[in-house]
Structure 1
Amino acid sequence: MAGYRDLLRTPGVGRIIAAQLTARFPSGMTSLALLMHIEHVTGTYGAAGLVLAAASVGQAVSGPITSRWMGFWGMRRVLSLTTVVCAIALAGIGLLVLPIGAYMALGMLAGLSTPPVQSAVRTIYPKMVNSRQLTPLFSLDASLQEIIWILAPVVITVVATQAGTVVGILMVVVILLAGGSWFILSPELGRVRIPRSRRRLGKVLARPPVLLATMMGFLLVGACAAVEAGVIATFGEGGLQAGIVLAVFSIGSLAGGLLSGGIPIGRWAMARRMAIVAVGLVVTTFSLNVWWLGGSLLVAGIGVAPALAVMFAMTTASVKFSDTAEAFGWVGTGQLIGAAAGSAVAGFLIDASGPTGAYWTAAVFAVVGLIVSVVSVRGFPDLRFRDAAPMPDTEPVRTIMS
Structure 2
Amino acid sequence: MAGYRELLRAPGVARIIAAQLTARFPNGMTSLALLLHVEQTTGSYGAAGVVLAATSIGQAIAGPVTSRWMGVWGIRRVLTVTTAVCASAILVMALVPMALVGYMALGFIAGMSTPPVQSAVRTIYPKLVNSRQLTPLFSLDASLQEIIWILAPVVITIVATQAGTVAGLLLIVAILVGGGAWFILSPEVGRVRIPRSRRALGRVLAKPPVLLATVIGFLLIGACSAVEAAVVATFGHGGLEAGLVLAIFSVGSLAGGLTFGHIPMGPWAMARRFAVVAVGLSLTVVSLNFWWLGGSLLVAGIGIAPALAVMFAMTSASVKFSETAEAYGWIGTGQLIGAAAGSAVAGFLIDGIGPVGAFYAGAGFAIVGTLVAAVFVRGFPDLRHRDPSPLPDTEPVPVIT
TM over 0.5: yes
2:114 match: secondary structure: coil
1:346 match: secondary structure: helix
The Cα of 1:240 is off from its aligned counterpart by 4.0
The Cα of 1:312 is off from its aligned counterpart by 0.2
Amino acid aligned to 2:278: A
Cα 1:11/1:67, change in 2 over 3 Å? same
Please tell me whether the aligned partners of residues 157 and 243 of structure 1 are also in contact (alpha carbons under 8 angstroms): no
Please tell me whether the aligned partners of residues 161 and 238 of structure 1 are also in contact (alpha carbons under 8 angstroms): no
The Cα of 1:44 is off from its aligned counterpart by 6.2
**Following the alignment from structure 1 to structure 2, what is the Cα–Cα distance between the partners of residues 288 and 41?**
35
Once the two structures are superposed, the pairs formed by residues 192-271 of structure 1 within 5 Å of their partners are: 192-271=192-271
Once the two structures are superposed, the pairs formed by residues 302-317 of structure 1 within 5 Å of their partners are: 302-317=302-317
Cα 1:382/1:116, change in 2 over 3 Å? same
Once the two structures are superposed, the pairs formed by residues 1-400 of structure 1 within 5 Å of their partners are: 1-38=1-38, 47-98=47-98, 100-351=100-351, 353-394=353-394
The Cα of 1:218 is off from its aligned counterpart by 0.8
Deviation track 1:21-64 (CA, whole Å, cap 9, x = no partner) reads 11111112223333444555566665544433332221111111
Match in the other structure for 2:399:
none
**Following the alignment from structure 1 to structure 2, what is the Cα–Cα distance between the partners of residues 351 and 49?**
16
Please tell me whether the aligned partners of residues 49 and 344 of structure 1 are also in contact (alpha carbons under 8 angstroms): no
Gaps of 5+ in 2: 397-401
Cα 1:172/1:5, change in 2 over 3 Å? same
Gaps of 5+ in 1: 397-402
Deviation track 1:159-183 (CA, whole Å, cap 9, x = no partner) reads 3333344433332222112111111
2:318 match: secondary structure: coil
The Cα of 1:353 is off from its aligned counterpart by 5.0
Amino acid aligned to 2:265: I
Deviation track 1:181-202 (CA, whole Å, cap 9, x = no partner) reads 1111111111111111111111
Amino acid aligned to 1:331: I
Cα 1:183/1:260, change in 2 over 3 Å? same
**Following the alignment from structure 1 to structure 2, what is the Cα–Cα distance between the partners of residues 284 and 43?**
34
Deviation track 1:236-281 (CA, whole Å, cap 9, x = no partner) reads 4434443332221110000000111111101111111111112222
Cα 1:117/1:28, change in 2 over 3 Å? same
| Higher relative contact order (CA closer than 8 Å, sequence separation 6+) | 1
Deviation track 1:264-308 (CA, whole Å, cap 9, x = no partner) reads 101111111111112222233344433333222211111110000
**Following the alignment from structure 1 to structure 2, what is the Cα–Cα distance between the partners of residues 97 and 342?**
31
**Following the alignment from structure 2 to structure 1, what is the Cα–Cα distance between the partners of residues 9 and 268?**
32
State the identity as a percent.
Answer: 76
Please tell me whether the aligned partners of residues 49 and 343 of structure 1 are also in contact (alpha carbons under 8 angstroms): no
**Following the alignment from structure 2 to structure 1, what is the Cα–Cα distance between the partners of residues 166 and 236?**
17
Deviation track 1:319-366 (CA, whole Å, cap 9, x = no partner) reads 111111111111111111112222333344445554444333322222
Max Rg structure: 2
Cα 1:35/1:110, change in 2 over 3 Å? same
**Following the alignment from structure 1 to structure 2, what is the Cα–Cα distance between the partners of residues 64 and 321?**
15
